Amino acid sequence: MPKIQVNDIEVNYEVHGNGFPLILLAGFACELHFWDERMVRELGEKFQTILVDNRGAGLTDGSKGPYSIKQFANDTAGLMDALEIPTAYILGHSLGGMIAQQLAIDFAGRVAKLILCSTTCGGSKSIPMGPELAPRFQERVQGKLSLEGNLDLKVDSCFTEEFQQANPEFIAEFREINANIVMPRKTLVKQAIALMAFNSARFLKKLDIPTLILHGQKDRLIPPENAEIMAQYISGAKVVYLGESAHALYTPEPEAFMNALLEFLT
């Protein structure tokens, strides 16, 4: 996989396909292997689809000191500079959606269209995660969960119980893939602090970028009410809810996800 110098670090990324650039920004405790392979393959048939490991995640270098969403956004803009990409479609999932918002705020001219998936504007205007997951999330950041406990949390966050029961082979494969994605606790803590400090609401009103907000109606990690809150701040934003999805969107409802995305982008 290629790495390229961006600001003070080397960033790991992958490129799939050709066409107008579409940059995918992954969420908390995730790296570029998080994305569903079928989704990447479909997008690569229509766009130059670029997957990125955020600072400190996957094979991208970490750095001393705290992380921030603003820093992650600067890294994304720096990667675009390094790859000679003047403007791109930006799709961010969860924490990646926060990075996408910050990128649009700080580098509006670089974002042709904005897709915010399963994310929030943060701060007092946002709706926090449900009580079923919050204590387990805190235990994960504190390093109190075993590998199996971490995998259980990721599965329960990303997929509904109904999807898990109906797709045991997929869930087993998902657990196997994610068992090999072990993020150092110091990076988890830095990402968690950056996530909790994020608050974009007062800046979103200034955006003049076509925006699509996608959210699962059964998301317990970032409740779906957050989608409507962001839409109230972003002028002209379109909201699409996926009725059978939790935090992960493409895998449970690939056709609905891709139809909404391609209708927006093409």
Give residue-wise pLDDT tens across range 142-152.
989 999 999 99
Contact 115, 131 (CB under 8 A): no
Distances (CA, A) of 134 to 128, 181, 190, 235: 9, 21, 18, 31
**Span 193-222, average pLDDT:** 97
For the entire predicted model, the pTM comes to 0.97
**Inter-residue contact 155 to 254 (CB < 8 Å):** no
Q: Which percentage of the chain shows pLDDT scores above 90?
A: 92
Query: pLDDT band at 130, cuts 50/70/90?
Result: confident
Of 6-10, 173-177, 210-214, the range with the lowest mean pLDDT is: 173-177
Structure tokens at 180: 């090999």
Residue 73 has pLDDT above 90, yes or no: yes
The Cα 66–Cα 75 span in angstroms is 14
| Average pLDDT taken over every residue of the chain | 96
Residue 224 phi, psi (nearest 5): -65, -20
pLDDT recorded at residue 152: 96
Neighbouring C-alpha atoms within 13 Å toward the C-beta of 137: 20
Q: CA-CA distance, 156 to 67, in Å (whole number)? A: 27
Q: What is the 3-state secondary structure (H, E, C) of 54-109?
A: CCCCCCCCCCCCCCCHHHHHHHHHHHHHHCCCCCEEEEEECHHHHHHHHHHHHCHH
Would you state the torsion angle of the CA atoms of residues 5, 183, 188, 57, taken in this order, to the nearest 10 degrees?
20
User: Which pLDDT tens digit goes with each residue over 232-254?
Assistant: 999 999 999 999 999 999 999 99
Helix (H, G, I), strand (E, B) or coil at 255: helix
**CB contact set of 166 (below 8 Å; sequence gap of 6+):** none
Given a cut of 90, is residue 2 above it in pLDDT? no
Q: How far is CA 198 from CA 69, 162, 176, in A?
A: 7, 32, 31
Q: What sign has the CA pseudo-torsion 223, 92, 248, 31?
A: negative
Contact 138, 239 (CB under 8 A): no
Q: Where are the beta strands (DSSP E) in 166-255?
A: 211-216, 238-242
CATH numeric code, 3-128+185-265: 3.40.50.1820
Could you tell me which of 158, 101, 98, 114 has the C-alpha nearest to residue 23?
Answer: 114
- What pLDDT does 44 receive? 98
Encoded tokens for 89: 């479609």
At residue 188, the pLDDT reads: 92
Asked whether the predicted pLDDT for residue 119 surpasses 90, the reply is yes
Q: What is the pLDDT of residue 126?
A: 97
Question: What pLDDT is attached to residue 1?
Answer: 63
